[in-house]
Amino acid sequence: MRILILGGDGYCGWPTALHLSARGHEVSILDNFLRRQWDHELGCETLTPIRPLHERVDIWRELSGNTIRTFCVDVTNYHALADAIAATEPDAVVHYAEQRAAPYSMIDREHAVFTQVNNVVGTLNVLFAVKDLAPDCHLVKLGTMGEYGTPNIDIEEGFLEIHHKGRTDVLPFPKQPGSFYHLSKVHDSHNMMFCCRVWGLRATDLNQGVVYGTMTDEIARHPGLINRFDYDDVFGTVLNRFCVQAAIGMPLTVYGEGGQTRGFLDIRDTVRCIELACLNPPAAGEYRVFNQFTEQFSVAELAAKVAAAGPHLGVQVEVQHLPNPRVEREAHYYHAVHTRLLDLGLQPHLLSESLLDSLLNIAIEHRDRVRHDVIMPRVNWRDTHNRQEPPAPVERPLAAAAGAPAVRFR
């Protein structure tokens, strides 16, 4: 299968490219390297020392004998994107090429506008290019569980059967996005569904939970293939951040009470989900949604797990509560359906003690690279101009591993 990965230099895109290449697919990567530039803007860098893309693909070719073509293209440049699609003639396009951080979209007006223009216009360009140049191609698009918000009912996979005044219909599940980033994903979903209906395209919207980890079987083959490990307050996901804080002796920073519950998955499951979606395409004209996560946790539960694991590796861990910089419910019902990928054969890597030890060991190995000043939250949802210092911690009893509330995060 010929597969073009948009955003293939990024945290999810790079391990996906290696995973699919290792399984015999003809893989190409398209990226504009903006994610690397944002490190400079924010004054931080990935915990793990990643190589330039051209070095990464050279190492992979020497190890595997497989060539990954690369295109330096911005998806908001339609003509360059169209040229890449014409050159690769893909059977599937995997679309990661978006600004992916909610805090980044909430910094100020400029970052909110950039996020929505980059994400919505980029996806529109992809849809037009697929229609004009590869109409039988399967678009596999990374969405987010954050589109749904935290409703007081079970979250179905994309659609909900509605009974209203004696009539019944199956409609898109109601959306309650929590940031300008999440709003951009909702717009993407609507545009994709519309194009499938009117143009007969085929698309899979993967509403992914929070990803953790950095290692896959392919990345483990050579240190030069190492993946990103983001821990800062803008792009760092919560479990990765907690592991870094534990490694450097900084208290784990729980926002608010820590009851925010979300779906989570290992990066190894991300790449397998993409493969399963590609191998099982929808029919022409079909827009489908898979909820892509394997477990649900709260922030407080994750903090408790890291606090319990730390002493095994020689680090003592404390937990500290901060005023929540986000506007979100901290105590809520959360139960999301996620069966469709399991039905296709996904075998999840659950968050075991050994896996958590592995994450902590990576953080400990590279802790000399940590920038302490980019971990505390600097972006407050309530402000329209975020350049202030991070907030002071709230005076509250420390949450011990056994005593943390049993609720869950994004």
Selected catalytic residue, list 11, 76, 88, 185: 185
**Is 185 one of the catalytic residues?**
yes
Convert the chain into a string of H (helix), E (strand) and C (coil). CEEEEECCCCCCHHHHHHHHHHCCCEEEEEECCHHHHHHHHHCCCCCCCCCCHHHHHHHHHHHHCCCCEEEECCCCCHHHHHHHHHHHCCCEEEECCCCCCHHHHCCEHHHHHHHHHHHHHHHHHHHHHHHHHCCCCEEEEEEEHHHCCCCCCCECCCEEEEEECCEEEEEECCCCCCCHHHHHHHHHHHHHHHHHHHHCCEEEEEEECEEECCCCCCHHHCHHHCCCCCCCCCCCCHHHHHHHHHHHCCCEEEECCCCEEEEEEEHHHHHHHHHHHHHCCCCCCCEEEEEECCEEEEHHHHHHHHHHHHHHHCCCCCEEEECCCCCCCCCCCCCECCCHHHHCCCCCCCCCHHHHHHHHHHHHHCHHHCCHHHCCCCCCCCCCECCCCCCCCCCCCCCCCCCCCCCECC
Say how far apart CA 143 and CA 125 lie, in whole Å. 17
Structure tokens at 337: 């359906």
Residue type, 116: Q
Selected catalytic residue, list 96, 181, 231, 287: 181
Selected catalytic residue, list 16, 88, 144, 214: 144
**Is 287 one of the catalytic residues?**
no
How far out from the chain centre does Cα 317 lie?
26
Residues designated as active site: 144, 181, 185
